[in-house]
Chains A and B, each alone.
Chain A
Amino acid sequence: MTADELGAAAATSAAPTPGARPGAAVLRGGNALLGLLGFATFLALLEVVPRLGLVSSDYLPPFSRIVGALGDLLREGGFWAAVGDTVWSWFLGLLIAVTLGIVVGFVVGTVPVLREFTASTIEFLRPIPSVALIPLAVLVFGLSIKSTLLLVVYASFWQVLIQVLYGVADVDPVARDTARSFGLGRWARTLHVTWPTALPYVFTGVRLAAAVALILAITAELVIGIPGLGAEIGVAQQSGAVPRMYALVVVTGVFGVVVNVGFRALERRLLSWHTSVRSEVPV
């Protein structure tokens, strides 16, 4: 209660609260501790609930058994090959989508006529679920990585494109006019004014695209059977190896967390000079 009030008071009071700085650090440490506690509670529940029979341990193996299966996985060469497959298709698909997204986004975003005339097409194509293309991918590309790439690129491209369009649109007209008055040509303006303004948006787009790419890569593997973590999950499900299935799910979760946290950290480091990010850095 007091911590909250201090926080509220510090935020809204005009009185000097230099003590709020070290106070905030204590808050953060306390939060981390609470978070750890929460995670530990979660794991404890995961262990206890199946063992007590509240949920059948056939459906939800206790945490310890999942860890055991995880240990087995880590020792298998096949598992690591699957990890490699997933990571590779994720990375390649992301790279293609980001490149395409940035190029198309900048070109369309900086030419107002293009922007105007492509807006409706983008709005029509964007909500089409990429999974609708799964059967097509299967027919055309079969079980190769190209199927995965089709789905990953299609879904991730839109994330990047939309963000880049926002970013280019956000350029301060004053800055742009200043550049023009200094005689900077279109290319120079794009480089020196548009790009830095759009950069945070590009990062957001890449971060969102990375998460989407992971989902689609694993989905493609799961549904189509292309080699990778998703395929492993499918196999485990079909052979009824429940703890193994959960262990694989945990692995995909860990991947997801690494991608999310990693890209956010990268964004903070690389964009710390940008005012919009700077203001978000916690005291």
Chain B
Amino acid sequence: MTTTSQGTTGGRHTRAETLLEVTALRKVYDGRVEAVRDLTFVVGKGEFVCVVGPSGAGKTTLLKCIAGLLPPTSGSVVLEGSPVAGPPPGMAVVFQEYGRSLFPWMTVRQNVELPLKQKKLPGDRRRQLVGEALAAVSLADVPDAYPWQLSGGMQQRVAIARAVAYEPHILLMDEPFAAVDAQTRADLEDLTRSLWHRMGVTTVFVTHDIDEAVYLGQRVLVLSSSPTVVLDDVVVDLPVERDQLTTRSSARFAELRAHVFEQVRRAKQERGR
């Protein structure tokens, strides 16, 4: 850890209350494969944190442990003060495989509405939330379409709408744009950021794309390759209003990007890859 991030970590804790606390997280598969060795970090309420690392780092493992989908071998995940022992309420996840995370026998509207029914919300409230969410992702005109009738980008937007309509306390996104084309990815990145900005939902965004991580996040957690530890916790002090063209061509962006890239590359070399 560099002194810059240590100093800033201390400062940040006094600003926002902690929502998520990951301490000494360790995950070993099959008693043999140590995917994650020691992950410790904190996410404040309303923050947008990106997690980046080389492929094969335990990024998805980390996300699944936070989501309560996978029990850690040791260490703890504490969300809103309570330890996570299974998928906690108030959490929404957007998976990479959008095609497989939407129910193909339900329409777009039904897909977005299903978790709200589970929350036992009354009908009008549900309809309102669904309508707003679909409008927010610009899919208000296809509520009765089936997911397989839509393009990949649109399907992922449905998944995002579903997460957003749920009004979660924390939003987890697992490489959500890895499987879409570059132009769609740019649109979805901007969509994600604007939704976060509007709703103030704490967001943890996992990606292998360093540019994306720096563009989107307020902080970037850099993970090493497996057995994974946190290499660095980089504060992204780019302006709040970000734009694909201007932000990405700014000097500060290039600096931050290079810094993260250097960390990742060093991590790969240390591993002997």
Q: Which of A5-58 contact B (CB under 8 A)?
A: 5-6, 9-10, 13-20, 22-23
Q: Which residues of A contact B31 (CB under 8 A)?
A: 19
Which residue of A5, A10, A13, A14 has the most chain B CB atoms within 10 A of its CB atom?
A14
* Inter-chain contact B29/A20, CB cutoff 8 Å: yes
Q: Using known A-B contacts A5-B70, A9-B64, A9-B70, determine if residue A15 contacts B30 with beta carbons closer than 8 Å.
A: no
Cβ of B71 and Cβ of A17 under 8 Å apart? no
Q: How far is the CA of A227 from the CA of B20 in the complex (A)?
A: 76
- Establish whether residues A15 and B226, one from each chain, have CB atoms under 8 Å apart when the complex forms: yes
Closest to A3 in B: B30
Segment from B52-60, B134-142, B243-251 that makes contact with A: B52-60
CB distance from A247 to the nearest CB of B (A): 46
Partner among B33, B70, B71, B96 whose Cβ is within 8 Å of the Cβ of A16: B33
Contact status B70-A19, CB under 8 Å? no
- Cα A18 to Cα B30 in complex, Å, equals 9
Asked whether A20 lies within 8 Å of B71 as measured between CB atoms, the reply is no
Taken together as a complex, chains A and B put the C-alpha atoms of A14 and B225 apart, in Å, by 13
Chain B, residues 93-115, CB within 8 Å of chain A (1/0): the string is 00010000000000000000000
In the complex, A9→B55 CA distance in Å?
16
B71 touches A15 (CB 8 A): no
Shortest distance from the beta carbon of B228 to any chain A beta carbon, whole Å: 9
When the two chains form their complex, are residues B59 and A17 in contact, meaning their CB atoms are under 8 A apart?
Answer: no
* A16 (CB) vs chain B CBs: closest residue: B56
Whether A14 touches B30, Cβ cut-off 8 Å, given contacts A5-B70, A5-B71, A9-B64, is no
- What residues of A have a CB within 8 angstroms of the CB of B35 in the complex? 15-17
Nearest CB of A to B73, in Å: 11
Other-chain residue from A13, A16, A23 in contact with B64 (beta carbon distance below 8 A):
A13
A5-B70, A5-B71 are known contacts. Are A14 and B60 too (CB-CB below 8 A)? yes
B32 at the interface (CB under 8 A from A): yes
B5 CB to closest chain A CB (Å) equals 25
Contacts of B60 in A (CB 8 A): 13-15
Chain B interface size, as a band, is 20 to 34
Closest to A18 in B: B33
The verdict on B232 contacting chain A, using a C-beta distance below 8 Å, is: no
For A15, list chain B residues within 8 Å (CB): 29, 35-36, 56, 58-61, 226
Instruction: Contact check, A14 vs B33: say whether CB atoms are below 8 A apart.
Output: no
**A13 B61 Cβ-Cβ under 8 A:** yes
* Residue among B30, B59, B71, B96 with the highest chain A CB neighbour number at 10 A: B30
Q: Which of B32, B71, B175 contacts A19 (CB 8 A)?
A: B32
Q: Which of A10, A14, A20, A22 has a CB less than 8 Å from the CB of B59?
A: A14
Closest to A21 in B: B30
A17 touches B30 (CB 8 A): yes
> Which residues of A are found within 8 Å of B226, using beta-carbon distances?
15-16
Q: Across the interface, name the chain A residue whose C-beta is closest to B33.
A: A19
Task: Determine the distance from Cα of A15 to Cα of B226 in the docked complex, in whole angstroms.
Answer: 9
Looking at the assembled complex, report how far the CB atom of A26 sits from the nearest CB atom of chain B, in whole angstroms: 9
Chain A residues in 8 Å Cβ range of B70: 5, 9, 13
Which residues in A have their C-beta under 8 angstroms from that of B29? 6, 9-10, 15, 17, 19-20
Tell me the bound Cα distance from A9 to B64 in angstroms.
Answer: 9
CA distance A15 to B35 in the complex (A): 7
A14-B175 in contact (CB<8A): yes
CA distance A18 to B96 in the complex (A): 21
User: Interface code B185-200, partner A: CB below 8 Å = 1, 0 otherwise?
Assistant: 0000000000000000
B residues less than 8 Å from A6 (CB atoms):
29-30
- A23 touching B30, Cβ below 8 Å: yes
Contact surface of A with B, Cβ cutoff 8 Å: 5-6, 9-10, 13-20, 22-23
With A6-B29, A9-B64, A17-B33 given, name 10 new contacts (CB 8 A): A6-B30, A10-B29, A13-B64, A15-B36, A15-B58, A16-B33, A16-B226, A19-B30, A19-B31, A22-B30
Give 14 A-B contacts (CB < 8 Å), ordered by A residue.
A9-B61, A9-B64, A14-B55, A14-B175, A15-B29, A16-B56, A16-B226, A17-B30, A17-B33, A17-B35, A19-B29, A19-B32, A20-B30, A22-B30
